[in-house]
A and B are shown apart, each in its own frame.
Chain A
């Protein structure tokens, strides 16, 4: 079982629609969760971080975390063509003094004008 799994897509939505990206993780000890956006040929950039159960909103982005279900999602409202990118879910596990970020395989999102 992969440690972090994402719906691989590709996902296409029309401009103005809501894009929903999902991620599950296997390690119940995971403590913090991140969504990164990666454009082709570029390094990932942080979109959202979430640490506790519930919703966290930042502009058009909402991250949702359910630790009991080991599930984290990202909603993008009023999707724009500039949102077209690969979205990476990442989970941070802390072991003693060490911490490591594990990435999902990514979901490619295309927002159609």
Chain B
């Protein structure tokens, strides 16, 4: 079946540094990738939608300059959290439409900013 590989699974970084999260579609082409954020005991909140070859579409309230999204190829999308702060600590998950109406999720990245 369709697989999206997400790395890293966990990362701890210092305040002010940047962190890059990668999502790769392993056996299918992902022209679109959705990036979600999830706080403890809360649901997934869509942050942005990346499209291969064009600019990402950000949801209202999400800072474009802070959460940089790049969709470099049909199999790779990246999210970079720039100048991270403790309030950016969260669980980040990517997802790609994989077949018909289905979606495949990455395994998630637990970001802790200290």
Q: State whether these chains interact.
A: yes
**Stretch of B14-22, B38-46, B64-72, B73-81 contacting A (4+ beta carbons < 8 Å):** B38-46
Interface of B is mostly: strand
Is B110 a contact partner of A100 (Cβ separation < 8 A)? Answer: no
Q: List chain B residues, Cβ under 8 A from A17.
A: none
Task: Determine if A101 and B107 form an interchain contact, defined as CB atoms under 8 angstroms apart.
Answer: no
Identify the A interface with B (CB < 8 A): 31-32, 34, 41-46, 49, 51, 88, 92, 98-106, 108
B35 within 8 A of A: no
In this complex, the interface size class of chain B, counting residues with CB under 8 Å from chain A, is 20 to 34
Bits for B11-50, please: 1 = Cβ < 8 Å to A, else 0.
Answer: 0000000000000000000000010000001111010010
A interface, over-half SS: strand
- For B44, what are the chain A residues with a Cβ–Cβ distance below 8 Å? 44, 88, 103
Could you tell me the distance between the alpha carbons of A31 and B106 in the complex, rounded to whole angstroms?
24
Contact A99 B105 (CB under 8 A): no
Cα distance, A31 to B34, chains bound together (Å): 19
Q: Hey, which chain B residues are within 8 Å of A31, CB to CB? A: 101
Of the A-B pairs whose beta carbons lie under 8 Å apart in the complex, a sample of 5, sorted by A's number, is A32-B101, A44-B93, A44-B105, A49-B102, A103-B44
